[in-house]
Structure 1
């Protein structure tokens, strides 16, 4: 590694402030990978050097014709970097908050240099929202409110949005930052219907975390006392209706049988009378 040339380049760039005015901004989440693109196709004699931070710390370099790649010994970047030998793109893997900052690119071609700047922001991974049943909101005298749930978020370093959704419909939302006193949002239900999906969503500009409400926190409507009582009322009503139908059918059958018996008796009497009249005529 030509330490002298790297040192002289850094001193020259720092003194002249010629890293370029345009800055490309990128945002990623901790644990992800990011690639800083040079937007060029490397030519044979190109030299590409990457620097980091206000001290212009050397990060990586591709020399000219021999296409040798040199990486920094800085512990922040050790075993996390890869240079594309065709384009000079810099990829940083398993990124952490200590990789946030300004990255500077120098491209030397035909004894001329061009520069690009990249401002990288590494956001902390969003925590999974916690769902807690808020028993303080349920009074013994209240019959309409059966389930109150708090969706809480902790350990946020940047502004996030905390929201309740029913399916894809937004029910309520608040903004939370590291300085916020209120970090939870409530949802009030009578019970949890199987056909409804309630979700607490935490999101910022680049990522989202979702927690679905389940029966561990809020009971099903089918398990509620009111639902069981209503089911028993329906069952008893059906049984009562069936009994009335049976009674009506039995009475109807008895009435029909009575009509048939009376008709039979009338027919028998009519037959006897006809027979008696016929005998009297013969006599």
Structure 2
């Protein structure tokens, strides 16, 4: 509206990074603050006040506060920098490691799955609360999720092809200066009949090639042996004839 003031702030220090004042018709992005981490990355919609951060890096992860007049909202942004591929045999267990040695008092762990980012497990250390949501997604995770209370790592037991997909780990650590970090895992499930992981597939291919070469060698040796036997028999027969 014509009298609305919109302001976007970032991080623990609530640094102003963008704002709109409708009455003077002024829109500003402060992309040189915070050592220029937002330089040429901020786009502010003049009509709606929505903020877009382009070409994101892990430096842009954190709390974004939106203030519209006297109201405010908080957005937590996580940035995934890589996807780790994990392969597991159907029926076996697979562990997705947080790489934490021990969660601290104010730490929060969230595990999400699939394109819809469905929450399947979380830990709120301060409340001493650990929850696995194994009834979501039509119960495909029922009695299969194990969450390590100390490290936040997740284990899926008795895996099936239904458990293939992307798993996202979101971690909030620290008390006053909250740190946002994240990991992404892509899990694939194979059965023992059709194949294996990529390493085992290469080994099988090499072994098959070696077996093929060995077979050719044996056949060639067999042919040469028989030819040699024929030649010796012919010489022996020729030598026994007297004229």
Interval containing the TM-score (normalised by the shorter chain): 0.3 to 0.5
Structure having the larger proportion of residues in strand: 2
- TM-score for both structures, normalised by structure 2: 0.47
- TM-score for both structures, normalised by structure 1: 0.41
Q: Which structure ranks higher in relative contact order (CA pairs < 8 Å, sequence separation ≥ 6)? A: 2
